[in-house]
C-alpha cells in the first residue's frame, strides 16, 4: 500500500474488529439470558414439589392432626406456615415469569366480577397482611370484565404483598375497586414510597430498589414486571403514583365487558 492507502484500510479493519467484538458481546449476552431463563424454569419447578410437602405437613401440625402442640410450638408452626407461604408465592412468581419469558403464557379469559376476584386475592394473602390494617372500598354491584381469573389475582396479590412488605406494621392499606368506564383496583399504602427516578425502572425484570429500608425485605424483583405484563396482555395497564416517605398507590386497570 502507498502511505495514503493505509489509513482507509486500517479504519475499515478497526470497524470490522469492533463490529465482531459487538457481535460476540451480543452473543454472550444472549447466551447468559438463555441460561438465566433456563435456571428460572428449572429452579421454580424443582422447588414446587418439596414446598408442597413442607406446607402440607405444617398445616397438619397446626391443625393438631399429628398430636397436641405446646403453645410455644404452635406459634413457631404458625410462623413457619407464613414463611412457607412467602416462599410458595416467590416460586409461583418464578414459574409465571419463566412462562412469560418463553412465550408460553396464554390467558384463559372468562367473564368475571373484579370485586369477587379482589376479595379472593385478599383472602390469599391474609397471613401476609396480618400485621397491617387493610380496608376495602368496593361498589355494591359486580364490576364485570373478561379476565384470566388466576392471573388477575396474581397481580392483586402482588400489589397487596408489596404494600405489606414496604410499609411498617400497623399501617393502613387501602384497596379500592371501581368500574366507572374502566375496571380498576387501586392499592394504597403508607410505606416508604418510591422516588420518581426509581418509579421509572421498577417495572423491569429483576429490578429491586436497594435502600436501607428494603435490604432486609426478601423478594425476586419479578413481581411488578410480571404484573404489568399480565395487565397489558389484558389490554390494560399497571401504574404507580408515589411520594417518598409518604406511601404509594399502584393502580391496575382492565377494560370492562361490553
Q: Cα–Cα distance between 135 and 141 in angstroms, integer?
A: 18
- Return the number of the residue (22 or 232) whose C-beta is nearest ligand ADP: 232
Q: Would you say 219 or 255 has its CB closer to ligand ADP?
A: 219
CB of 234 to ligand ADP, least distance (A): 18
Q: Would you say 52 or 211 has its CB closer to ligand ADP?
A: 211
Contact 153, 121 (CB under 8 A): yes
Residues that bind ligand ADP (CB under 6 A): 158, 162-163, 166, 189, 191-192, 194, 202, 207-209, 214, 219-225, 248
CB of 223 to ligand ADP, least distance (A): 3
Which cell goes with 223?
Answer: 413481581
Q: Which is nearer to ligand ADP, 32 or 217 (CB)?
A: 217
CB of 89 to ligand ADP, least distance (A): 9
Choice between 147 and 154, CB closer to ligand ADP: 154
Closest CB to ligand ADP among residues 152, 166: 166
Residue in the shown chain whose Cβ atom is closest to ligand ADP: 219
Residue 205 CB, shortest distance to ligand ADP, in Å, is: 8
In the complex, the smallest distance separating the C-beta of residue 194 from ligand ADP, rounded to whole angstroms, is 5
Rounded least distance, CB 201 to ligand ADP, Å = 9
**Cα(184)–Cα(194) distance, rounded to whole angstroms?**
22
Amino acid at each position: 500500500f502507498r502511505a495514503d492507502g493505509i489509513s482507509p484500510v486500517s479504519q475499515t479493519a478497526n470497524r470490522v474488529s469492533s463490529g465482531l467484538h459487538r457481535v460476540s458481546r451480543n452473543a454472550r449476552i444472549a447466551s447468559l439470558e438463555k441460561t438465566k431463563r433456563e435456571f428460572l424454569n428449572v429452579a421454580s419447578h424443582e422447588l414446587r414439589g418439596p414446598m408442597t410437602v413442607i406446607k402440607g405437613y405444617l398445616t397438619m401440625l397446626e391443625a393438631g392432626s399429628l398430636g397436641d402442640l405446646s403453645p410455644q410450638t404452635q406459634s413457631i408452626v404458625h410462623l413457619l406456615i407464613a414463611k412457607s407461604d412467602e416462599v410458595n408465592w416467590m416460586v409461583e412468581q418464578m414459574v409465571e415469569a419463566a412462562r412469560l419469558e418463553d412465550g408460553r403464557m396464554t390467558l384463559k379469559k372468562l367473564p368475571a366480577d373484579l370485586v369477587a376476584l379482589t376479595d379472593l386475592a385478599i383472602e390469599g394473602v391474609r397471613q401476609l397482611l396480618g400485621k397491617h390494617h387493610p380496608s376495602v372500598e368496593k361498589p355494591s354491584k359486580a364490576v364485570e370484565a373478561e379476565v384470566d381469573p388466576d392471573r388477575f389475582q396474581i397481580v392483586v396479590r402482588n400489589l397487596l404483598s408489596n404494600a405489606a412488605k414496604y410499609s411498617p406494621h400497623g399501617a393502613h392499606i387501602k384497596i379500592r375497586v371501581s368500574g366507572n368506564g374502566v375496571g380498576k383496583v387501586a392499592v394504597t399504602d403508607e410505606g416508604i414510597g418510591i422516588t420518581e427516578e426509581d418509579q421509572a425502572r421498577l417495572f423491569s425484570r429483576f429490578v429491586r430498589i436497594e435502600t436501607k429500608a428494603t435490604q432486609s425485605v426478601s423478594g425476586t424483583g419479578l413481581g411488578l414486571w410480571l404484573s404489568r405484563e399480565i395487565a397489558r396482555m389484558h389490554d390494560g395497564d399497571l401504574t404507580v403514583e408515589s411520594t417518598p416517605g409518604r406511601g404509594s398507590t399502584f393502580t391496575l386497570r382492565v377494560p370492562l365487558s361490553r
